[in-house]
Amino acid sequence: MVDTSVWIWALRVPELLAELRVATIRGGLAACHPVLFELLYSARNTVEYEGIRREFAHYPFVPVDDPVWERALDVNQEMARQGACTTARCVSPTS
């Protein structure tokens, strides 16, 4: 699964988008509806919106149910504990 920020970059950098497509063909990449929703929300116009929808028609989708969200929160918490970046800012292990 690829984060929204990577998709935003890939939609602007054709070489990266091509790499993501190859990874999908090899079975190593899937999308999820929360990420698609974020991407569509950031579309600047209907042409961009429709292009994103077309692009994502090619990817398998993974359901994001409560256990998946709980795992994401656990990973995020561990990253914060280690002082890793978990959002637009980095958090300190002591904060």
User: What b/e readout covers 47-73, taking b as 16+ CB neighbours within 10 angstroms?
Assistant: eeeeebeebbeebeeeeeeeeeeeeee
* pLDDT score recorded for residue 13: 93
Intra-chain end-to-end CA distance of the chain, in Å: 29
Find out whether 22 and 54 touch, Cβ atoms under 8 Å. Answer: no
Give pLDDT tens digits along the chain (95 positions).
788 888 889 989 999 999 999 998 898 888 899 999 999 998 999 999 999 999 999 889 989 899 988 988 888 788 888 877 655 454 444 54
Residue keyed to tokens 């914060």: 80
Using an 8 Å Cβ cutoff, are 56 and 50 in contact? no
pLDDT of residue 73: 84
